Amino acid sequence: MQSQGVPPAPSTPLGFVQISDKDLTEIELHSVDSISDLHRAHPEQHGKGCRPARPKPPSINGKLQSLDKPAICQSGHQMRRSHLKQLSSMCIPCMWRYSLACVALTLILLTLILIFSFLVQQSRALHTLSEMVSQRQETTEEISILIQELQALRRNLTALGDRH
């Protein structure tokens, strides 16, 4: 018993629903947008050997055919070139950073060597200066002893000259 104005139910099996070409196109466009968003969010995953599958327009009857399914990974000569380009683009900044680190380390070592040699030179100069100061003190002490002896001799001579 069917009521008036209600069309009869379609004759498709219960598990399958027909999708129109317009709906299928919208689904594919949404998938492409999602994949593009993923590539923008994770750029390091892009170009790792697998190219993103590009959706093909839907077939005329609205069903995917086995020919419409995209290949998952396209390998070949181009992929090797992209790996080489990626590797060289990664190595150049690494080598640049490595060279800068080597130059900086060399400059630091040269600076330390110059500072050390300056300190050694100053140490030698201080040692020589301290030796000269100690020699001067010894000389001053000898001179003061000689002056005392001369004064004693003068007194003795003056005392002898007074007696005669």
* Tens digit of each residue's pLDDT, the chain (164 residues): 445 555 555 555 556 667 777 777 777 777 877 787 777 776 665 455 555 555 555 556 655 554 444 444 444 455 556 766 766 676 677 788 888 899 999 999 999 999 999 999 999 999 999 999 999 999 999 999 999 999 999 998 888 877 76
In this predicted structure, what is the pLDDT of residue 68? 44
In this predicted structure, what is the pLDDT of residue 53? 54
Helices (H) and strands (E) in the chain, counts: 2, 0
Both tokens of 156, joined, read 């003795």
DSSP string, 75-110: -SHHHHHHHHHHHHHHHHHHHHHHHHHHHHHHHHHH
- Between CA 54 and CA 65 the distance in angstroms is 15
Q: Is 136 exposed, middle or buried (0-12, 13-18, 19+ CB in 10 A)?
A: exposed
In this predicted structure, what is the pLDDT of residue 18? 75
In this predicted structure, what is the pLDDT of residue 71? 44
- What lies within 8 Å, CB to CB, of 24 at 6+ separation is 58, 62
pTM, two decimal places: 0.34
Task: Using alpha carbons, list the distances in angstroms from residue 151 to 137, 139, 163.
Answer: 21, 18, 19
